[in-house]
Amino acid sequence: MPPGKEGRGEFTTAGCCVYTWISDIWLEAIRVAGRGLVDHQVSSVVPFSVLYTPQVSSEALRQDPAVTQWLRITGHSADWLLGLNVGADLIELEPAEIYPLPSLLAQRSNFEPLKALGFHQQRLVALLDVDLLEQCYRQISRI
């Protein structure tokens, strides 16, 4: 790790951080237990769009036809399925490429799981805290 890059928050380690890449959003890979395609046998898939905009969640949104894949997220009490409308890949992200949100931006964010930004292949990407994403899921599942 380069000098001055220590202590960049919960997203860094002494080596590479491994993430699951979903378009421009990243989740820690250690919390992803599997993935697959959505079909008639898969139920209880929660689309990512519902977690991002819980105030408009409804049964119609939960049946989002754009969702074609799922990731099985290892939860604290049970696993749950996160629905995606894009593919997900496993990649490594260097700690030097991860930047926690500035405090002012973090305070104004309406989406608590967003904790850091990173760079991958010349693109700015969002890094999400899976524990907070799970809290969003729990709130939605109560509706």
Q: What is the pLDDT of residue 22?
A: 59
Specify the higher pLDDT residue, 143 or 112.
Answer: 112
Tell me what the mean pLDDT of segment 108-124 comes to: 85
Tell me the pLDDT tens digit for each residue of 59-100.
Answer: 555 567 778 888 889 888 889 888 888 877 777 778 888 889
Q: What is the pLDDT of residue 7?
A: 31
Domain ranges for the chain, please list them.
Answer: 17-142
Give the residue from 17, 21, 111, 118 showing the smallest Cα distance to 71: 21
Q: What is the pLDDT of residue 76?
A: 87
Q: What is the pLDDT of residue 23?
A: 60
User: Rounded distance, CA 78 to CA 88, Å?
Assistant: 21
Tell me the torsion sign for CA atoms 113, 33, 10, 16. Answer: negative
CB contact at 8 A, 127 and 113:
no
Q: How confident is the model at residue 6 (pLDDT cuts 50, 70, 90)?
A: very low
